[in-house]
Each structure stands twice: as C-alpha cells, then as structure tokens.
C-alpha cells in the first residue's frame, strides 16, 4: 500500500467507523418490571424527570409523588440518584413512565430477606385486619401477621373489637416468610416476644442473686407450680415452695394477676431458669410450735387433702398434720371421703406433737370413752403407720 493510500483510507472504511461510533450495540431498552438506577434531572410540582440511561428520559407521574412521604419527597433534589421501577416503557403518548416508590421497595425486599436470615426484630404499624390476622406496613411494603402469631390482643373475647383496637399500634415482630414474586411478607409477633423474653431473662439472671427478695405478678398456674413474672421474665414457684403446708394445686392459694413477693431460690444461667419460693418469706410454723401448741389443745383447721387413711389438716399458721381415719368422728369410719372434703373447716384437738420430726397428729375423739382408751397408744399402731405414710407422701411431693 502506498503512502498516499495509508493517509487517505477508502471511503467505505470511513463509513464503517462512523457507523460503529454512532451505535452502541450493548444498549438494551427498558422493560416493564425492570429496576434501574436513575439520576434526577428536573423536579416539578406534578412530575419528576429522570435519566435512566435510555433513549428518552423517564417520567415519575404525580400519582407516584402523592404516594411518597412528605419528608422524603422534600428531600429529593436535582442530581440525586434514585432507583426507579419501569411501569410502562411506552404509554399512549410515547412516554417512559417510571416509579420511585416501587424502585425503593426493591431495597425493602432485600432488607426483608436479610432480616429473615438474621432474625433481627423490627417494628411494624398495624393498618388493618382480615379474617386471617393483622395487615401491617413496614417501610414501603405491606405485610401480614397471622392471628396465631399475634400476642398483643385477646382474640378469644371479641375478635372484631380486639383487632380494631390494634389498628395504628406499633408491634415488634420478626420476619418469618419472604416471597417477593408473590409480594408475600409474613411477620410474627410471637417469635419476637420469645426472643425479647429470652434476652430479658438472661439480663435478669445476670442481675439477680440467690436470696434476693423481689416483687412479681402471677402469670400462670399449673399442677406443678406457679409462674411469676419478676420484671419481664418468668420464674417458677414449685408447688412444694408455695406454702409450709401441703398445697394440692397452686390455684388453691394464688390467682393469675395477683402481685406477690417472692424469694429467689435458685438461678440456672445455662438453661435460663429461675426457681422462686413463696414459703421462704413466710414464718416456719415449726420454729416455735412447741411453745404455742400442746397435746390436748383444741384447735381449728382446714382440710388440705383427703387420702384413704385420713385427712391432712392445716392450722391457720400453716402447721399441717394428719387426722387419721381412726381419729375421725366416733372412730368407726371405714373411709374418710364421705365424712370430710377438701377445704372443710374442722374443730379438733392435738393428739400428739413432735416438732423435731415436724409432725403433728389430730383427733376428734379426745375425752370420749373410746378416745381415752386409744389415747395411750396414739404414738404407735395405726398412728405409726399413718406417720410413715405422711413421710412417703412428703417425699413424693418433694421429688416432683
């Protein structure tokens, strides 16, 4: 090739270079549903013009501006970068319609997926309800809390009234399901409460010491004991720690919502368990029983339990003993159930008192001819067998 040809390339080569420089074959037109980063070019009262790298500028219509929070709308300025959602690549007027609100939702969905993984708690605002649960709003997304995952309302009373009262309230929740394609975002208040209680309990365990005396509220009653909230976390009073006398069921002496003072009996920081006691704050009736009571003394008590061989009776101060079947009525009873029932008030006498063994026996036959004949053998025979039964019953109670 001559020097002249190198300096003046053919016309067709110039045309190809011009053609290549005029067209960017990597360009892809915006598609409906696509999210792109855009730069704000102009802000008007009824629309915002943005550049999203397309052949034409995008228009954010007035409807989208009205959906924005006032504070966010006022914070927008020319030159700012915002995500936009392509609503319509070409409307009837050949305009490219985009939405900032729907673009921002992309970040909320991403954050929701992160929360599903991290299980961090967030706040949502109740906006309504349906038959399945509560409708809530989180950032720019609509979410849902199933009724089974709500704890801030009592749905067993009047469901409509209870759900209506929730509207406008802010609830602490955890994300339990995210499906952006179906626009499904499910929250759980119950799971957030579990985590909050666990953290609160761990904090309480770090602050408490065995022997502390604290105030609490009874939150639950079970066969094995009572749950008491002591500042955001529940501790358990075992049935054997409710009183110095025998307690058949916690509901016999406590009720839900009652405020009581409790003694911190044990702390297990590995399992986050708090053992409490009520009876440790009550005077032990056996400490001075030998000075306040004597054999033959007339006393009044109430039945705490009825068993095949008699009935357990507690005095007002909690001192509890056995009224053996042979010491009931005229002593001829075959079984006690038709004669006494739980909670019955009885007038009886102390037949024997053994403070060192924490044992007392009662009789209703003191002074009768049969009772006088039986009195010398009250420490042995059937009474001795009954005492053994008392010991065995106490062991069973302690091992629960």
Q: What confidence tier does 10 reach under pLDDT thresholds 50, 70, 90?
A: low
Q: In the predicted model, what is the mean pLDDT of residues 286-300?
A: 91
Beta strands in the chain (DSSP E): 35-43, 48-51, 58-60, 81-88, 96-99, 121-130, 133-138, 141-146, 170-179, 184-188, 213-222, 225-229, 234-238, 259-268, 273-277, 298-307, 310-315, 320-324, 345-354, 359-363
Mean pLDDT of the chain: 84
Q: pLDDT digits over 117-150, tens only?
A: 999 999 999 999 999 999 999 988 999 999 999 9
Q: Tokens 């959906």 map to which residue? A: 67
Residue 342 near residue 306, CB atoms below 8 Å: yes
What residue ranges define each of the domains in the chain, with the CATH number in brackets?
35-104 (2.40.50.140), 119-193 (2.40.50.140), 208-281 (2.40.50.140), 289-398 (2.40.50.140)
Q: In the predicted model, what is the mean pLDDT of residues 376-382?
A: 37
Residue 67 near residue 101, CB atoms below 8 Å: yes
Q: pLDDT digits over 352-363, tens only?
A: 999 988 899 999
Q: pLDDT digits over 161-211, tens only?
A: 888 889 999 999 999 999 988 989 999 999 998 888 878 888 888 888 999
Supply the pLDDT for residue 45.
85
The pTM of this model reads 0.50
Residue 276 near residue 265, CB atoms below 8 Å: yes
């Amino acid at each position: 090739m001559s020097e002249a040809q190198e300096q003046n390339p053919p016309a067709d080569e110039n045309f190809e270079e011009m053609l290549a420089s005029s067209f960017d074959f990597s360009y892809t037109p915006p598609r409906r549903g696509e999210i792109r980063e855009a730069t704000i070019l102009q802000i008007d009262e009824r629309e915002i013009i943005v550049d999203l790298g397309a052949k034409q500028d995008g228009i954010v219509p007035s409807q989208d501006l009205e959906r924005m929070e006032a504070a966010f709308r006022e914070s927008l300025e020319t030159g700012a970068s915002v995500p936009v959602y392509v609503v319509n690549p070409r409307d009837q007027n050949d305009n490219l319609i985009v939405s900032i609100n729907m673009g921002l939702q992309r970040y909320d969905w991403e954050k929701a997926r992160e929360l599903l993984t991290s299980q961090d708690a967030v706040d949502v605002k109740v906006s309504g309800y349906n038959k399945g649960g509560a409708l809530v709003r989180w950032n720019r997304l609509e979410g849902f809390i199933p009724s089974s995952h709500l704890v801030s309302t009592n749905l067993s009373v009047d469901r409509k009234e209870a759900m209506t009262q929730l509207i406008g309230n802010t609830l602490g929740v955890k994300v339990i399901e995210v499906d952006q394609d179906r626009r499904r975002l499910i929250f759980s208040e119950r799971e957030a409460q579990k985590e909050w209680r666990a953290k609160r309990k761990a904090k309480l365990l770090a602050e408490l010491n065995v022997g502390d005396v604290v105030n609490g509220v009874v939150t639950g009653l079970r066969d094995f004991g009572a749950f008491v909230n002591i500042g955001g976390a529940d501790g358990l009073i075992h049935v054997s720690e409710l009183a110095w006398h025998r307690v058949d069921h916690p509901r016999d002496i406590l009720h839900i919502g009652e405020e009581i003072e409790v003694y911190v009996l044990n702390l297990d920081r590995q399992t986050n368990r708090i053992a409490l006691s009520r009876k440790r704050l009550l005077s032990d009736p056996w400490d001075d029983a030998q000075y306040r009571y004597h054999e033959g003394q007339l006393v009044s008590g109430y039945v705490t339990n009825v068993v095949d061989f008699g009935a357990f009776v507690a005095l007002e101060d909690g001192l509890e003993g056995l009224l053996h079947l042979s010491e009931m009525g005229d002593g001829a009873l075959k079984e006690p159930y038709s004669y006494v029932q739980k909670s019955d008030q009885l007038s009886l006498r102390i037949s024997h008192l053994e403070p060192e063994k924490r044992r007392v026996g009662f009789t209703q036959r003191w002074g009768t001819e049969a009772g006088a004949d039986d009195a010398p053998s009250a420490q042995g025979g059937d009474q001795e067998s009954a005492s053994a039964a008392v010991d065995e019953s106490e062991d069973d109670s302690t091992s629960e």
